[in-house]
Amino acid sequence: MIVNYQENGWQIISQRAHGLLAGQFCFYWKNDMRPERWLETIIATAEHDDAFNEFVNDDNLINENGGPVNFKMRDFEEAKCDELLQLALSKSRYIALLTSRHIQFLYRNSDQEKAVTFCKMLEKWDRKWLKETGLTKEEITKAYAILEWCDALSLLICQQMIQPENRKIEISGGPDNLQYQLWTKNESVLTISPWPFVTDNFSITYESKLVSKLTFNDVKEFREDLKDAPLKIHTFQISKP
């Protein structure tokens, strides 16, 4: 989950809500850069964090001080990565390939031996899955670059990293290796340069919860408070410069 400290408590954005926001950006990606299996690319982008479900099966939610654990504080978790892969495999090998690439992007240079070993195993499976699908490594690399870009943009927004006073922040390279930048025109309108989308403007939404208590005795207490916490729907207009 993404945790932002605010004066009145913790703003919590679930991993799956962040993924859904990434999927919204993917949906509008420009036509000339879309891979052939476009719907599956959108699905893979929207579901790239779906194994992390704070409401059901994730027990690594609070730290030793009783506060909520931001996603950046979590180490490699093989069981979660394997669950994510199994979810992807149950849909398609193509989605599994993109999911595998995402796990490798996150952990291939980790200082944790288990993570590096897991990524090496994924490289082996990738070769098998590429053969089964008839796809090339280059095709998956280009498709994953879109997923990674949309993920990066979603994270910037969810972590409240949009800069004030029209200052720009870099997003990621994308499949065309351009340096994309994000900034705000006003409080509710964001823009990106160069413009990567098929339409000149569209709206996006995502949900957050506000947990007023700062510390919790255990995961069960935090989860119950999170489920009952007030909901906020964030809406932005994404507009061409």
pLDDT digits (tens, 9 = 90+) for 133-145: 999 999 999 999 9
Contact (CB, 8 A) for 196 and 174: yes
**Mean pLDDT for the chain?**
95
Confidence of residue 60 (pLDDT cuts 50, 70, 90): confident
pTM confidence score? 0.95
pLDDT digits (tens, 9 = 90+) for 172-210: 988 898 999 999 988 889 999 999 999 999 999 999 999
At position 181, the amino acid (one-letter code) is Q
Domain coordinates in residue numbering, the chain: 2-239
Instruction: Classify burial at 164, counting beta carbons within 10 Å of its beta carbon; exposed 0-12, middle 13-18, buried 19 or more.
Output: exposed
- What are the Cα distances from residue 126, in Å, to 97, 103, 133, 135? 6, 12, 10, 11
pLDDT of residue 180: 96
Query: What is the spatial order of strands in the sheet that 2-6 belongs to?
Result: 2-6, 9-13, 201-211, 231-239, 189-193, 181-186, 169-170
Confidence of residue 56 (pLDDT cuts 50, 70, 90): confident
Average pLDDT over residues 48-58: 88
Cβ atoms within 10 A of the Cβ of 239, count?
Answer: 16
